[in-house]
Amino acid sequence: MELAEIKESFEFFDDWEDKYRFILEIGKDLPDMDDDYRIEKNLIRGCQSQVWLVYAIEDNKLRFQIDSDAHIVRGLLKILLVAINNLSPSEIIETDLETLFEELGLMAHLSMSRGNGLRAMIGKINQIAENGAS
């Protein structure tokens, strides 16, 4: 799935129901993380549900695996991954993820009382990218 496809789908949603059905649907595509990685050390702080993140850097490309125990969060993570997976650290730093979620009308998930922790995830990803770039 491409980011352009996701953006296009969002343009056609009339109401919250379509939007959330879509988010839940694409969340199903997110590969389940191995239990070995679903450990305390890989948890992102500041999320209400559990979110695990592991990454590797290969040929200057960052590859992320992210998973959560909440379905809506998995959908949001899927969007995040489509936006950034296999980009170089400096490309990730240039990607304005907050604006992306704002454009998709998912800002509530960014600001909502640390709600689904999207802001925490974006922060973590940017931090990894910055470390990878330096």
Partner 1 sequence: MSKTNIRSDFPILATSSRGKPLTYLDNAATTQKPQCVIDKIGDYYATFNANVHRAAHEMAEKATAELERTRESCAKFLNAKSTNEIIFTKGTTESINLVANSVPLFSEKRRNIVISELEHHSNIVPWHLVAERHNLRVAAIGISDDGELDLNQARSLINDDTALVAITHVSNGLGVVNDVKAICRMAREHGALCLVDGAQSALHFPINVEDIDCDFFVFSGHKLFGPTGIGVLWGRIELLEKMTPWQGGGEMIEKVSITSSTYQQPPFKFEAGTPNIAGAVGLGAALKYLEQIDRDSLGKAQDSLVKNTTERLADMPGIKLIGNPNKRSAIISFLVENSHPNDIGTLLDQQGIALRAGHHCNMPLMDRLGIPGTVRASFSLYNDDSDGDRLISGLEKAQTFL
**Residues between 86 and 105 that touch partner 1 (CB under 8 A):** none
12 sits near partner 1 (criterion: CB under 8 A): no
50 sits near partner 1 (criterion: CB under 8 A): yes
116 sits near partner 1 (criterion: CB under 8 A): yes
Count of residues engaged in binding partner 1, rule: CB under 8 A: 16
What are the DSSP E strand ranges found in the chain? 51-58, 61-68
Q: Nearest Cα to 78, choosing from 60, 93, 96, 100?
A: 100
Query: Applying CB under 8 A, which part among 34-42, 53-61, 70-78, 119-127 lies near partner 1?
Result: 70-78
Minimum CB–partner distance for residue 62 and partner 1 (Å): 27
In single-letter form, the type of residue at position 41 comes to: K
CB 117 within 8 A of CB 51: yes
47 is catalytic: yes
Which one from 6, 23, 30, 47 is the annotated catalytic residue? 47
Instruction: Map residue 96 onto helix, strand or coil.
Output: coil
**Helix %, strand %, coil % of the chain (to 5):** 55, 15, 30
- Residue numbers of the site for partner 1 (CB under 8 A)? 16-17, 20-21, 24, 48-50, 68-73, 115-116
